[in-house]
Chain A
Amino acid sequence: MTALDSLLALLLLLLAARCVSARSLLQAIVAFIVLGLLLALSWVRLEAPDLALAEAAIGAGLLGVLLLGTWRSLPLGHGNERIPLPWQGLRPALITTGCTVLAVLLTVALHQHPEQAAMSGLAALDQLDAAGVDQPVTAVLLNFRAYDTLLEMGVLLMALIGTLMLDSPLPRDTELPARTMLPATLAQLFLPLILLIGLYLVWAGAYSPGGAFQGGAVLAGAGVLLILTGFGEGDGRDGWVLRALLAGGALVFTLAGLLLIPVTGAFMAYPQGLVTPIMVLIEFSLALSIALSLLLLYTGTPGLRRRGER
């Protein structure tokens, strides 16, 4: 199977080189998206199917749509540039040397294996019984290292606030898709399926690959599809319910951290009998926050509405 790995590695490197060196920005973006999908494929092979799902949905899918939309909003020819080749000048030569040395050192470093296995990982697998879920990654994200996830939700929220301050939504498609009914029909056909998969992923995260992040990303993808096919669009206004849902993921952690102190006497520790229900609550509010945040990061607007609605 090393042959397949070698092929994947080679393709990844070629696509990365293409992404950096393509003269047209569009081609660079396309190379990046394909690279994301191949990366997801390689992660499946590395026993990380849930991460592959996240990379395909968020890293290649959602970010890809966003990159393409941004490219379309730029003036013609914007971002087309030819970067200097390594031998065209001193600076490129030095940078090439530096980056090559770094890559070689990293390769060697990634082949150095320590004597003992990772302590934290072993501990996480050891204490899985007490975590309230069976899936180790979900247990780490929502329980063992829930604090990280809280902070991460903060990052997501602040990236969204920053984006909204710029008041630069993605331009709406006015000319193209309206001509044909096919995408809209397809969206109607697939939407229930996508929603089902999204919710299933959130739910299944407790015991099999999946979880709030992947589920949220798939739900956000459903939203993107609705916008692309003309059923919905970004709205300049927002409401407190929407804002509460956006902040909900971080808020539920914060409250769990603060309110449970008198109950359990510890911080961000969930009382024994209630672990599973609390985890489910957290997981669904996280998924909803993630889905809405990603969707609004895509539209670049504070609110959403159905097309044509005032």
Chain B
Amino acid sequence: MRPDVLPVMLVFLPFLAGLLQFIAGRPAPRLGNVLVGVNLLLVLALIPGVADEGAIVANLGGWSEPLAIHLLADGLALLMLLLTALLAVAVSLYAMAAWRDQHHDALRFWTLWPLLLGSLNALFLSRDLFNIYVTLELVTLAAIPLVLLAGPGKTVDAALRYLLFALLGSLIYLAGVALLYAQAGTLDLALLADALPDSTLAGSLGASLIIVGILIKAAILPFHVWLPAAHGGAPAAVSAILSALVVKAAAYLLLRLWSGPLDPLVTPAAGQLLGALGALAILFGSWQAFRQERLKLVVAYSTVAQLGYMLLFFPMAVTAAWQGAVYHGLAHGLAKGALFLAAGNILLYLGHDRLREMRGIDRPLAVSLLAFGLAGVSIMGLPPSGGFTAKWLLLTASVETGQWWWTITLLLGGLLAAAYVFRVLRLAFLQPPENVPDRPGMVPPPLMAWSATVLAVLAIVLGVVSAPLLELLGSPVGGSE
């Protein structure tokens, strides 16, 4: 089989599954689970090709260069695809148990989720500016109905706010695309860098609009206001997807575009500005996470903070920072997925997620708390987790470039993360008061508990297997060594 069939399959098969599920009109979780399994196999099958040749390109439609749409699987895309595929398996197993008895919600989940998976794959594989716009919209419009699965009455405010910001963000992005097309005459990321004339106002303005649009979609600090309610209010499986993958997809685009087509347009000052936004996000998000009274909001604000780390690549722009930022994306994705799934289990058992009334759950929810703790290790950045490797790389970069202020940010961020993770764990392990009221909820089935744990273990393992993965990633395309 030709290797370039694989990227095409990664987009089209999930779409096919989603559409068939929509037409069928009754939930088929098995189809969904087979799909995520096949998806993982396809991604794994991509690895040798990318490792040998550096990248696999598929031409859609067979048209010639400036016109055609290409799918590109390079190291960066492959790692994000791998993260998506691993999370997809865990989340699907979790969802199979979570929506077992709810016909309507299950049908909607199993329709939207394959479509979202296909959209995410399409986004990671895209090599075309306008294509990215459509996939961004696709991801958003699959994600918001999924948020509504928690009950439209409760989540409608959060969903509406999410939609408004997402729509504005993507139209600002589109305005930037229009300006860049006017200058370069092509939408292909690979051709854009060469085709753009040097430092015109239109080029710089286009690049800035593109970046601002993506920052809104990625919920970076001044634009984070829509995130906590949406991620905190969604069902656990959906929160995991949103926090680990959907906002990450936007952050990924920033890395992809900055180091590639926008490279001739960006300046060191812009890099420092983005880094400053990232640092603010880390400190503000962590502090907010520490102050929250509800578990899922703690985890949601933690996402605001953790996304900030990926921005620290931009001021430093060396290979170590590149690797650190991407690795942070992977580690955070796995750990955050585990945290949200575990939080969902706690919510299921208690019937609420108020931190102060959470004590005494250590025995019935031992496995879920194990997942929470292990994932917390990675979020805090303790060895030997994936989070540690990422932060170590970022620290190395900050020392290497002599930008000591990021070192301080990284250390403070780690401390604050430790504070909010341990706060949750301490409350969970406190002895219950004497007269424990009857628990209204149920002990989550093993499938739900273990799918969270598997993700958390993967987040730890990520710290051990870093060498081959980083080799696969390589260095930034346009950046300096």
B interface residue count range (under 10 / 10 to 19 / 20 to 34 / 35 or more): 35 or more
**In the complex, per-residue mask of B96-111: 1 if CB is within 8 Å of any chain A CB, else 0:** 0000000000001001
Which chain B positions have C-beta within 8 A of A238?
A: 25
Measured between alpha carbons, how far is A109 from B350 in the docked complex, in Å?
57
A173 CB, nearest partner CB in chain B, Å: 25
Q: Within the assembled complex, what's the spacing in Å between the Cα atoms of A117 and B66?
A: 12
| Complex: chain B residue closest to A168, CB-CB | B152
Task: Give the nearest-CB partner of A130 in chain B.
Answer: B63
Within the complex, the shortest CB–CB distance from A244 to chain B, in Å, comes to 5
Complex contact A105–B201 (CB within 8 A): yes
**CB <8 Å contact, B15 and A120:** no
Given A158-B145, A166-B152, are A266 and B62 neighbors across the interface (CB < 8 Å)? Answer: yes
B59 in the interface (beta carbon within 8 A) = yes
Q: Which residues of B contact A147 (CB under 8 A)?
A: 60-61, 69, 131
B187 touches A120 (CB 8 A): yes
CA distance A143 to B152 in the complex (A): 39
Question: What separation, in Å, do the CA atoms of A160 and B68 have in the docked complex?
Answer: 30
Instruction: Establish whether residues B61 and A146, one from each chain, have CB atoms under 8 Å apart when the complex forms.
Output: yes
Query: Is A112 a contact of B115 with CB atoms below 8 Å?
Result: no
A88 located at the interface, meaning its Cβ lies under 8 Å from any Cβ of chain B in the complex: no
Q: Inside 8 A of A268's CB, which chain B residues have their CB?
A: 60-61
Give A159 to B182 CA distance when docked, in angstroms: 30
In the complex, B361 has a CB within 8 A of chain A = no
Contact size range, A: 35 or more
Check A258 for interface membership: any CB of B closer than 8 A.
yes
Q: Contact between A247 and B22 (Cβ–Cβ < 8 Å)?
A: yes
For residue A161, which residues in chain B have a CB less than 8 angstroms away from its CB? 22, 108, 111-112, 145
Q: Per a CB cutoff under 8 Å, which of A112, A123, A166 touches B201?
A: A112
The answer to whether the Cβ of A115 comes within 8 Å of any Cβ in the partner chain is: yes
Q: Which of A96-119 contact B (CB under 8 A)?
A: 105-106, 108-110, 112-119
- CB of B15 within 8 A of CB of A254, answer yes
Q: Does B138 contact A (CB under 8 A)?
A: yes
- Could you give, for residues 48-66 of chain B, a 1 whenever the CB lies within 8 Å of some chain A CB and a 0 otherwise? 0000000000111111111
Q: How far does the alpha carbon of A227 sit from the alpha carbon of B197 in the complex, in Å?
A: 53
Encoded as 1 (CB less than 8 Å from any B CB) or 0, chain A from 226 to 240 comes to 000000000000101
Least Cβ distance of A19 to chain B in Å?
A: 16
Q: Are B12 and A257 in contact (CB under 8 A)?
A: yes
| A148 CB within 8 Å of chain B | yes
- B115-164, CB < 8 A from A: 115, 118-119, 122, 130-131, 134-135, 137-138, 141-142, 144-145, 148-149, 152, 156
Provide the residues of chain B in CB contact with A123, threshold 8 Å. 63-67
| A157: chain B residues within 8 A (beta carbon) | 19, 22, 115
- A-B pairs, top 7 by smallest CB distance, nearest first, are A118-B185, A162-B145, A109-B202, A119-B66, A123-B67, A266-B62, A269-B62
Question: Chain A residues in contact with chain B, CB under 8 A?
Answer: 105-106, 108-110, 112-124, 127, 143-148, 150-152, 154-155, 157-159, 161-162, 165-167, 238, 240, 243-244, 246-247, 250-251, 254-255, 257-258, 261, 264, 266-269
Can you identify 8 A-B contacts, CB atoms within 8 angstroms?
A114-B184, A123-B65, A157-B19, A157-B22, A158-B138, A165-B148, A258-B12, A267-B8
